[in-house]
Amino acid sequence: MVKDKLAQSVMLGLCLFSILMVVTIAVGLYLKSSPVLENKSLWSLLSSSEWRPMKGEFGFFPFIIGTVWVTVLAIAMAFPISLFTAIYLTEYAKSHVKKFVFPALDILAGLPSVIYGVWGVLVIVPWISNRFAPHFVDFSSGYTILAAGIVLGIMVIPLLVSLFIEVFSSVPMELREASLALGATRWQTTHKVVLRKTLSGVAAATVLAVSRAMGETIAVLMVCGCVIGIPKSILDPGYPIPALIANNYGEMLSMPLYESALMFAALILFAVVLVFNLLSRIILYRLEKTQQ
Amino acid sequence: MAIEIQHLNVYIKENQILKDICLTLPEKQITCIIGPSGCGKSTLLRTINRLIDSTEHVRLEGKVLVDGKDIIGSGHEITELRRKIGLVSQRPCPLPMSIFDNVAYGCRINRMYKKHRQLIYNVQKQLQAVGLWDEVRGRVRTSATRLSIGQQQRLCLARSLAVEPEYILADEATSALDPISSKTIEDLFVSLKSQYSIIMVTHTLHQALRIADNVVFMYLGEVVESGPARQIFEQPQQELTRKYLSGIFS
């Protein structure tokens, strides 16, 4: 009994510690970014496109747009591929196929992001520059929003597939059989029953993947071009927030307010992920309520 | 038409689950399949509507004639077969949709009606047939999961009836229900047998005694004895059947 209570208290402590870490990070980022917030208005920081650290001008708009572009592209690419891969693996594939595919997915998920970055530089960037972009523009270096989107999308796929598989596997077999027994085909069963039943789970998994995609740094940094400016198309280079922080962290100490500005960039990222998660939870909660 | 099973063998990997089953399941009657756990009752049921196909490494031999056509083999249209053979499973499984949509699901899948009004009429008819209409009237658009377990099972029966099957398979359809709901389902089966051929797997001998017209006793994948319920219960021909019925093993 005493041991049980002790174990419970220890685990509660560890649980609180994890939550405290999140709060500590938020408070730390806020304190560190307060100098730049005292000098500039929040609106001008978020909406301005001027980025001249030497002159103390910090406009984050191009970086926010860069992050949104890359994330949207990555998820738009990864979502359908992951969804249908997971549907195939849970609803159609035989066990010998699963035996081969699951470890492959685990390997993909475990690869360090720098490897995806190198692969992007060696394969995707030249492909965009030489094959894809010439159809649309006169010149593109290949280091573009599109390259970052593709590399990030491919990075997210293993995570999204395994989350979807988990979600679809939670549907009881009896439910599928109830549909099949009425004369439904497997596909009808999948999209009318399995997907309907797991709608909230699919949405939750996607939110998780979006959060992950927003924060990805190294691979994106290597292929996005890192040019400050608002991209007009996916064939323009971009500069997402994580890349900005990682690229400039070394030189920030030499300029006043620079450190604070970069910490503010991290705070934006933190806030966007937090708000996105909260919003999706509210939507999911309402969705589940209407389904019940 | 009756269902006729001829020399049916079912293997999963190297294990033989059903051994040389020969049976005739008469039409417009209730046939109860009894036997101890693991004797192959559910496998037999799942073979009749080919739900067994979703089990990996399964191999079927022999013939199962439904309306005179052999349904074993790849030539048969399985979706049409399943529409013809309704299934009520052990645990009620309402689909993740409203009460109305649950009953309408099979009709929509099979494109049975061109007019929505006909669909509404059929849904109401089936809900009335299972005695659920008065209980859910006015809330048919709410989620089916809000119904009680007994109501859910009746809904599943209504859902099966909505696609106008000729046969109803019930796999221990009352085992998860309370005694009152169980009795309601039993009474429903008795009232439905004039229109449908009902094949029911049951663990409860008393249930078989109450409603069965015919009984099939299975043991270790084989049919030990089958025939009219009265004969099986009163004068079993096989020693194994006698022992099972007297409760020596279960």
Name the residue ranges covered by the structural domains of chain A.
3-291
B142, part of any domain: no
Confidence grade of residue B1 (pLDDT, cut at 50, 70, 90): low
What average pLDDT does range B50-61 have in this prediction? 91
> Mapped to the 3 state alphabet, what secondary structure does chain B carry?
CCEEEEEEEEEECCEEEEEEEEEEECCCCEEEEECCCCCCHHHHHHHHCCHHHHCCCEEEEEEEEECCEECCCCCCCHHHHHHHEEEECCCCCCCCCEHHHHHHHHHHHCCCCCCHHHHHHHHHHHHHHCCCHHHHCCCCCCEHHHCCHHHHHHHHHHHHHHCCCCEEEEECCCCCCCHHHHHHHHHHHHHHCCCCEEEEECCCHHHHHHHCCEEEEEECCEEEEEEEHHHHHHCCCCHHHHHHHCCCCC
Domain membership of residue B200 (yes or no) is yes
B163 touches chain A (CB under 8 A): yes
Q: Which domain holds residue B72?
A: 3-93+167-245
Name the CATH topology of A3-291: MetI-like fold (1.10.3720)
Which pLDDT does position A256 carry in this prediction? 73
Residues 6+ apart with CB under 8 A from B104: B119, B122, B123, B162
Taking 80 as the threshold, does the pLDDT of residue A290 lie above it?
no
User: How would residue A291 be classed by pLDDT, with cut points 50, 70 and 90?
Assistant: low
User: Which chain B residues have a beta carbon less than 8 Å from that of A291?
Assistant: 96, 143
- Measured between beta carbons, which residues in chain B are less than 8 angstroms from residue A193? 95-96
CA angle B33, B36, B41 (to 5 degrees): 40
- Residues A104-113 have a mean pLDDT of 90
Say whether the ipTM exceeds 0.85: yes
Q: With cut-offs at 50, 70 and 90, classify the pLDDT of residue B11.
A: very high
Q: Which of A95, A174, A184 sits opposite B56 (nearest CB)?
A: A95
Please count the CA atoms within 13 angstroms of the CA of B19 that sit on its side-chain side: 11
Most A CBs within 10 Å: which of B78, B82, B112, as the mutation test of the A interface? B82
Q: Is A197 on the interface with B (CB under 8 A)?
A: yes
Say how many CA atoms lie within 13 Å of B171 toward its Cβ: 26
pLDDT in the model for residue A216: 85
Q: Hey, of A179, A182, A202, which one would you mutate to test binding to chain B, going by the most B CBs within 10 A of its CB?
A: A182
Taking the CA of residue B143 and the nearest CA in chain A, the distance in Å comes to 6
Q: Which of A174, A183, A197 sits opposite B106 (nearest CB)?
A: A183
What per-residue confidence (pLDDT) applies to A280?
Answer: 81
Q: What does the pLDDT read at residue B184?
A: 87
Q: What is the pLDDT of residues A117-172, one digit of tens each?
A: 999 999 999 999 999 999 998 888 999 999 999 999 999 999 999 999 999 999 99
Stretch 137-176 of chain A: residues touching chain B, C-beta under 8 Å: 172-176
pLDDT band at A53, cuts 50/70/90? confident
pLDDT of residue A84: 96
More confident residue, B116 or A256: B116
Using 50, 70 and 90 to split pLDDT, how confident is the model at A19?
very high
pLDDT at A40: 86
Tell me the average pLDDT across B6-10.
94
Give the closest of A172, A175, A177 to B51, CB-based: A177
CB of A215 closer than 8 Å to CB of A156: no
For residue A189, what is the nearest residue in chain B, using CA coordinates? Answer: B109
Taking only residues 175 to 194 of chain A, the set having a beta carbon closer than 8 angstroms to any beta carbon of chain B reads 175-185, 188, 192-193
Cβ pair A177:B83 closer than 8 A: no
Q: What percent of chain B has pLDDT over 90?
A: 64
CB contact under 8 A, B109 and A94: no
Average pLDDT over residues A61-80: 94
CB contact under 8 A, A182 and B156: no
In the numeric block, which tokens belong to residue B182?
């169980």
Q: Is B23 within a domain?
A: yes
Euclidean distance between CA atoms A90 and A166, whole angstroms? 9
Flag whether pLDDT at B32 surpasses 80.
yes
Mean pLDDT of all residues in B66-95:
87
Question: CATH number for the domain including B30?
Answer: 3.40.50.300
**In what helix (H) or strand (E) does residue A4 lie, and over which residues does it extend?**
helix A2-39
- What SS3 class is residue A22? helix
Mean pLDDT, residues A222-240: 91
Average pLDDT, chain A: 90
Nearest residue in chain A measured CA to CA from B88: A178
A-contacting residues in B 86-115 (Cβ below 8 Å) = 86-87, 89-91, 93, 95-97, 105-106, 109-110
Provide the residue type at B38 as one letter: G
* Residues in chain A closer than 8 A to B85 (CB atoms): 181
Average pLDDT score over residue span B160-168: 92
| pLDDT at A253 (0 to 100) | 67
Among B42, B58, B71, B105, the residue to mutate for chain A (most A Cβ within 10 A)? B105
Looking at the domain assignment, is residue B151 inside a domain?
no
| Domain contains B137 | no
Is A178–B87 a contact, with Cβ atoms under 8 angstroms apart?
yes
Nearest-by-CA chain B residue for A289: B143
Chain A, nearest residue to B160 by Cα: A182
Average pLDDT over chain B reads: 90
Average pLDDT of the segment spanning A44-48: 89
Domain count across chain B:
1
Q: Taking CB atoms and an 8 Å cutoff, what residues of chain B touch A93?
A: none
| pLDDT surpassing 70 at residue B75 | no
- Select from B49, B109, B145 the Cβ nearest to the Cβ of A184: B109
Quote the CA–CA distance of B209 and B202 in Å, as a whole number: 11
- For residues A77 and B184, the model is more confident at A77
**Contact list, A292 vs chain B (CB under 8 Å):** 143, 145-146
pLDDT (average), residues A72-100: 94
pLDDT of A292 higher than 60 = no
Distance between start and end Cα atoms, chain B: 33
Q: Mean of the pLDDT values across residues B224-230?
A: 93
Structure tokens of A146?
């599109």
Question: How many beta-carbon contacts under 8 Å exist across A and B?
Answer: 75
- The whole-number pLDDT of residue A200 equals 85
B156 interfaces chain A, CB cutoff of 8 Å: yes
**What is the DSSP-derived secondary structure letter of residue A105?**
H
- A217 pLDDT band, cuts 50/70/90, is confident
- From chain A, the residues in CB contact with B82 under 8 A are 180-183
